[in-house]
Amino acid sequence: NAGVTQTPKFRILKIGQSMTLQCTQDMNHNYMYWYRQDPGMGLKLIYYSVGAGITDKGEVPNGYNVSRSTTEDFPLRLELAAPSQTSVYFCASSQREPGVGYEQYFGPGTRLTVT
Amino acid sequence: AQSVTQLGSHVSVSEGALVLLRCNYSSSVPPYLFWYVQYPNQGLQLLLKYTSAATLVKGINGFEAEFKKSETSFHLTKPSAHMSDAAEYFCAVSAFEGGSYIPTFGRGTSLIVHP
Q: Would you call B100 and A90 a contact, using CB atoms and an 8 Å cutoff? A: no
Q: Would you call B106 and A41 a contact, using CB atoms and an 8 Å cutoff? A: no
Does the pLDDT value for residue B84 go beyond 90?
Answer: yes
Q: How confident is the model at residue B78 (pLDDT cuts 50, 70, 90)?
A: very high
User: How would DSSP label each residue in chain B?
Assistant: --EEE-S-SEEEEETTS-EEE--EEE-SSPPEEEEEEE-TTS-EEEEEEE-SS-SEEE-GGG-EEEEETTTTEEEEEESS--GGG-EEEEEEEEEEETTEEEEEE---EEEEEE-
Does the pLDDT value for residue B64 go beyond 90?
Answer: yes
Q: Which of A31, A56, A106 sits opposite B43 (nearest CB)?
A: A106
Of A94 and A100, the structure prediction assigns the larger pLDDT to: A94
Question: Can you give the pLDDT at residue B1?
Answer: 72
- Residue B23: list chain A partners with CB under 8 A: none
What DSSP designation does A9 have?
Answer: S
Q: How many CB pairs under 8 A join A and B?
A: 61
Q: Is A39 on the interface with B (CB under 8 A)?
A: no
Q: Which of B31, B103, B107 sits opposite A104 (nearest CB)?
A: B103
Task: Provide, rounded to the nearest whole percent, the portion of chain B with pLDDT above 90.
Answer: 70
pLDDT tens profile A26-62: 999 999 999 999 988 889 999 999 999 999 999 999 9
Q: Would you call B42 and A48 a contact, using CB atoms and an 8 Å cutoff? A: no
Mean pLDDT, all residues of chain A: 93
CA distance A70 to chain B (A): 20
Q: Which of A58, A101, A108 sits opposite B32 (nearest CB)?
A: A101
* Residues contacting residue A100 through CB under 8 Å, at least 6 positions apart: B32, B49, B51
- Residue A107: list chain B partners with CB under 8 A: 43
Question: Can you give the pLDDT at residue A100?
Answer: 66
Q: How far is CA A41 from CA A22, A35, B109, in A?
A: 23, 12, 10
Question: Can you give the pLDDT at residue A111?
Answer: 96
Residue of A102, A105, A110, A111 to mutate, testing the B interface (most B Cβ within 10 Å of its Cβ): A102
Question: Can you give the pLDDT at residue B3?
Answer: 87
| Residue of chain A whose alpha carbon sits nearest to that of B9 | A40
Of B101 and B88, the structure prediction assigns the larger pLDDT to: B88
Q: Work out the average pLDDT over B48-71.
A: 90
Of B101 and A66, the structure prediction assigns the larger pLDDT to: A66
Q: Would you call A108 and B42 a contact, using CB atoms and an 8 Å cutoff? A: yes
Q: Which residue from B36, B32, B26, B44 is spatially nearest to A35, judged by alpha carbons?
A: B44
Q: Which of A41, A58, A102 sits opposite B101 (nearest CB)?
A: A102
